[in-house]
Amino acid sequence: MEVVLAVALLALIFVPGYMLLNDNLLTESVSLDKTVLTFLAKQKMEEMLAKSFGELYAKIPANESYYEEEEKDIEYNGLVFNRKTKIIFKNNCLLQLVVTVESENGKGGAVTIATFKGRFD
């Protein structure tokens, strides 16, 4: 009888502890993916913001309102990501810049960063 009671008490302690550990590991993995997604999006956004309005505007084809490029299979820390960059013409003095990074396995989701670049003459 004492053995059954001891095993039951251990089970009551061990099972919730194991579940907390498992949830913690899953959260840590998703958090790492989100951090890398954000880093890759910010990296590309900083590259675009460092360019002049004219350089970005020149990428938009004639008679089009936007330019889009996609980079596939970006490897970082053993993980694979895809990055989409979009430059949207708003008016003669304003462009919208959008960067979206998605994890290829779908586990980490996606991160989108958007901002505006203006021409001030």
> Domain ranges in the chain?
2-118
Whether the CB-CB separation of 116 and 94 falls below 8 Å is answered with: yes
Nearest CA to 37 among 98, 83, 78?
83
What fold does the segment set 2-118 form as a domain? Pantoate--beta-alanine Ligase; Chain: A,domain 2 (3.30.1300)
Query: How does residue 26 score in pLDDT terms, banded at 50, 70 and 90?
Result: low
Among residues of the chain, what percentage have pLDDT more than 70?
A: 81
* Residue that wins the pLDDT comparison between 15 and 97: 97
pTM above 0.85, yes or no: no
Is residue 108 over pLDDT 90?
A: no
CB atoms inside a 10 Å sphere around CB 6: 10
Give the position of tokens 């970082």: 76
